[in-house]
Structure 1
Amino acid sequence: MEQENVQETVQETVSTNVDTNTSTEVETKVETEQGVQTETTPEVKTEAKPIMIPKERFDEVNGKYKELSGQLSEMQKAKEAMEQQLAEMQKANETTSSSIQQTTEKLEGQVKQYETLIGEMVTTKLQAIPEDMHDLIPEGLSTEQKLAWINKAEGKGLFKKQKTVEIGTPLNHSSEQDTTERMKKMNPLQLFASYYGGK
């Protein structure tokens, strides 16, 4: 019984101390009812031998390393080339976008000039149209549409001033011509006949 009590009360604590002289000792402390006993047992450490790699395996791994190293350098060169192309493309894009912007600004200026010119043309044509016919021009048209409509209407004769015909006057306008103009066109015989024929 006493041995069972001793075994029950025994607590083992293992601690390892490493000596710099390549020897290791293991201390075991055993506690009993009478006291603490310490046992030290030396542990023999074997010296590590260098690991030998077979030549074939070394050549295989070394070959793979060289192959991967070559692939890596090729990828880095390709990456640098792609980055250079990207930089060139970005520069070209900036140049193109700036030229597009300049062209757009220039064209917007020209469009404004043309709109002003068309507006002046419409105003001039409206002044030439009699005031009582302004109601015939449709409302809500843009300046270009209004100019096109007025041109079509003028082409069809809508805004022409019709001459009033007086009743009893000849439709032949030869009598209205200036006599001096008629006389310039006559030969001497016709001049005598007109002079003596009119009396």
Structure 2
Amino acid sequence: MSEEIKDTNTEEVTNTESTSANSSTEDVKNDQQADKTIPYSRFKEVNDNYKSLKDKLEEIENQKATDDLEAKKKAGEYKELYDSLQDEHEPLKNQVSEYKQFFSDLLESKLATVPDDFKELIPENLSDTAKLKWIENASSKGLFNKVTAESFGNKGANPSTESPVKQTAYIKGLSRKF
């Protein structure tokens, strides 16, 4: 019997300890929950900040999407403008290439008329247009004209022994004095 009493006492002690342990853990949990609770004013402040930042983020994303759309529209406009300018300039490119070919042929023909002795006088560092102008100026001033020996009337024959001047009495008189 004494063992039964001891067992019962032991059970009561363990029950008391477990209930006291349970009540102390409940108190600790309540204290922790009380510590974890946030005042409503702080909760409202953080929540309002979150909502305002979320709204700003949405506004920025919308603005970015709008800007991207406008950029694409502008790119489309630029592409149309580019295409129209390309259509206008394509014939001009063909004309320019024809003019360049004509000009190079003209320059070659002018260079062919320049005597070989004078070709080295043409400056090498000039562009083709400047060369053509230089050749035209030189031609107009007579630089490329060939100089021929002028005849003075006797055509290389020896002068005659006859005196071209008639001997008059006056001339004879003068020749005696000198």
- TM, length-normalised to structure 2: 0.47
Bigger RCO of structures 1 and 2 (CA < 8 A, at least 6 apart): 2
Higher helix fraction (1 or 2): 2
Higher strand fraction (1 or 2): 1
